[in-house]
Amino acid sequence: MSKFDEIRQAYVDARKSFFAQRDASAEFARSLVEGMERYLESPPYMIRFQTSTRQAAAATAHDAKDVVAYGTDGLWHFGLGMELVDNQDGFNKSAARQNLAFELLVKPDGAGFSVGLKGWDDRFAPPATGDSPERTRFYDFWFRLIIDSYLQPGHRFFEGMADSDRAVRG
């Protein structure tokens, strides 16, 4: 094998490894989103992967590969949104709504992954598949962030107006 062939093979191998890591991280992120929906007892697809412009990624809201970005911090970044609708008077298109935006941070870590949310230092190491106490701890943390974000003083919500997107960050 020539030195050029060695360089080319190193490139091919690195590319395969990069996309395999991306795909595994996207699958893990999808399983976390679906687990969070079960934890919240929400309707399916209430948490959606989003592009950087905060649009739903695809008709299949749980398709993470189209929205993932590899950051300079060595983490895989996934934009997420959860639409909340005030449907107390019945669901209609003029009901007040808000899209909560999150950024899920995932890092392959040996046989598993570490995960966190942008803006917080807390990291969790749930298993790659299946429910576990560590996954529940992550879901509890995420849930508390959402609730606490609405309990902060100074938030104003205007009757009859649609609320804007809100990024929930530390």
Q: What are the structural domain ranges in the chain? A: 3-167
Specify which residues 76 forms β-bridges with: 70, 106
| Tens of pLDDT, residues 55-107 | 555 444 567 777 888 999 999 999 888 888 777 665 666 777 778 888 999 99
- Given a cut of 60, whether residue 122 has pLDDT beyond it is yes
Specify which residues 78 forms β-bridges with: 104
Residue 88 or residue 149, greater confidence: 149
Mean pLDDT to the nearest integer, 104-128:
90
What pLDDT does 161 receive?
Answer: 44
What is the torsional sign of CA 121, 75, 100, 33? negative
Chain mean pLDDT for the chain: 82
* Amino acid, res. 93: K
- Given a cut of 90, whether residue 155 has pLDDT beyond it is no
- Cβ atoms of residues 131 and 120 within 8 Å: no
What pLDDT does 159 receive?
Answer: 47
Look up the pTM and report it.
0.81
What pLDDT does 92 receive?
Answer: 67
Looking at the chain, the whole-number percentage of residues with pLDDT higher than 90 is 45
- Given a cut of 60, whether residue 128 has pLDDT beyond it is yes
Mean pLDDT to the nearest integer, 35-41:
92
Q: Are strands 97-109 and 69-70 parallel, antiparallel or unpaired?
A: unpaired
Q: What are the backbone dihedrals phi and psi of residue 77, each rounded to the nearest 5 degrees, phi first?
A: -105, 130
- Given a cut of 60, whether residue 163 has pLDDT beyond it is no
Mean pLDDT to the nearest integer, 7-15:
97
Residue 130 or residue 78, greater confidence: 78
DSSP the chain: --HHHHHHHHHHHHHHHHHHHHHHHHHHHHHHHHHHHHHHTPPTT-EEEE-TTS-B-SSSTT--TTT-EE-TTS-EEEEEEEEEE--TT---TTS-EEEEEEEEEEEEETTEEEEEETT----B---SSS--HHHHHHHHHHHHHHHHHHHSTT----TTSPPPPEE---
What pLDDT does 134 receive?
Answer: 93
Mean pLDDT to the nearest integer, 153-157:
60
